[in-house]
């Protein structure tokens, strides 16, 4: 345990109705309040957050390998709605009810899909990969990202093939090269770095097709209606995060009814790990209020 991440308390795989397996990891008490994590790009169920915090708050944190990543069975051509349906099944199989959901980095649009499909009771988007294909962002994207967005729109199959060339080492190098010093202090802390590298290696254990499918979905236009989301949503960004959203979630928050935006100073994309207690405390309060139960 480092204060950022800890080794999972429980690991497993659940069989879905079509025979595919969905891998998961859990931290915290088995009878705790369920919080489901949609982890970031190319990381597996092994990379949790809030070591010590989930136990103190009585949270049963469940992280899920998306299809093709980690130990989850690939599902070529899968969609956001397919993922939400998988999570709905997992919740029934694991007794999670309608959990609060956290979406980090590239996991954010998958978490938003769960909210849109009414799988989640409340949602925290943390350092979320924004909808960079939204037309309003086109003038402000840097040339490299704009080229990838245009390529994905023009030739999604070709873009997916391109992203399938990525590796765990390439992902590590890209994150390290693009992160501010405040984030590197977290990512390069020895125990965190070891856990992060393990999660990357496991995520690419079946190859890069799962990551590639995730990236094409996230980088294209999102097919779900953000303005139809009815659960409480909190959107969190570090003020020094320049990689996940062109405007630190301002447009995203405006598109989700009632969403509350939090911009935290002196941190960037490592926000999930440095501010786990604040994020979970707010999320639990919002989920309780939404379900109509007293605090």
The three-state (H, E, C) secondary structure of the chain, written as one string? CCCCCCCCCEEEEEECCCCCEEEEEEECCCCCEEEEEECCCCCCCCCCCCCCHHHHHCEEEEEECCCCCCCCCCCCCCCHHHHHHHHHHHHHHHCCCCCEEEEEHHHHHHHHHHHHCCCCCEEEEECCCCCCCCHHHHHHCCHHHHHHHHHHHHCHHHHHHHHCCCCHHHHHHHHHHHCCHHHHHHHCCHHHHHHHHHHHHHHCECECHHHHHHHHHHHCCCCCCHHHCCCCEEEEEECCCCCCCCCCCHHHHHHCCCCEEEEECCCCCCHHHHCHHHHHHHHHHHHHHHHCCCC
pLDDT on residue 291: 59
- Specify the number of domains making up the chain: 1
245 within a domain of the structure (yes/no): yes
46 within a domain of the structure (yes/no): yes
Instruction: Give the tokens for residue 110.
Output: 């998958």
292 within a domain of the structure (yes/no): no
pLDDT on residue 295: 35
293 within a domain of the structure (yes/no): no
pLDDT on residue 85: 98
pLDDT on residue 292: 53
List the domain range (segments joined by +) for residue 256: 10-286
Residues ≥6 apart with Cβ < 8 Å to 229: 112, 115, 116, 123, 256, 257
Under a CB-based contact definition with an 8 Å cutoff, are residues 119 and 101 in contact? Answer: yes
5 within a domain of the structure (yes/no): no
64 within a domain of the structure (yes/no): yes
250 within a domain of the structure (yes/no): yes
Domain CATH for 24: 3.40.50.1820
1 within a domain of the structure (yes/no): no
Please list the rounded mean pLDDT of every run of 10 residues in the chain (295 residues): 83 98 98 98 96 96 98 98 98 97 98 98 98 96 95 97 97 97 97 97 98 98 97 98 96 98 98 98 86 47
pLDDT on residue 294: 39
pTM of structure: 0.96
């Amino acid at each position: 345990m480092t204060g950022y991440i800890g080794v999972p308390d429980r690991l497993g795989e659940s069989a879905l109705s079509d025979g595919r397996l969905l891998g998961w990891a859990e931290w915290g008490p088995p009878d705790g309040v369920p919080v489901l994590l949609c982890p970031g790009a190319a990381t597996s169920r092994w990379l949790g957050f809030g070591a010590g915090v989930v136990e103190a708050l009585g949270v049963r944190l469940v992280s899920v390998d998306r299809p093709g990543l980690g130990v989850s069975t690939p599902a070529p051509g899968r969609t956001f709605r397919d993922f939400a349906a998988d999570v709905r099944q997992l919740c029934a199989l694991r007794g999670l009810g309608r959990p609060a959901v956290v979406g980090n980095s590239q996991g954010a649009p998958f978490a938003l899909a769960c909210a849109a499909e009414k799988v989640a009771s409340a949602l925290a988007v943390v350092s979320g990969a924004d909808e960079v294909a939204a037309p309003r962002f086109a003038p402000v994207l840097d040339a490299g990202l704009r080229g990838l967005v245009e390529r994905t729109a023009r030739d999604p199959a070709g873009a997916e093939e391109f992203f399938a060339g990525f590796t765990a080492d390439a992902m590590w190098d890209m994150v390290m090269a693009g992160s501010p010093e405040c984030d590197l202090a977290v990512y390069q802390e020895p125990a965190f770095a070891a856990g992060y590298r393990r999660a990357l290696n496991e995520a690419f254990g079946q190859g890069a097709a799962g990551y590639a499918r995730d990236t094409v979905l996230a980088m294209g236009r999102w097919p779900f209606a953000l303005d139809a989301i009815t659960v409480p949503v909190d959107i969190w960004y570090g003020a020094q995060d320049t990689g996940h959203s062109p405007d630190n979630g301002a447009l995203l928050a405006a598109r989700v009814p009632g969403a509350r935006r939090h911009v935290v100073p002196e941190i960037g994309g490592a926000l999930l790990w440095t501010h786990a207690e604040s994020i979970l405390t707010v999320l639990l309060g919002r989920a309780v209020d939404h379900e109509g139960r007293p605090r």
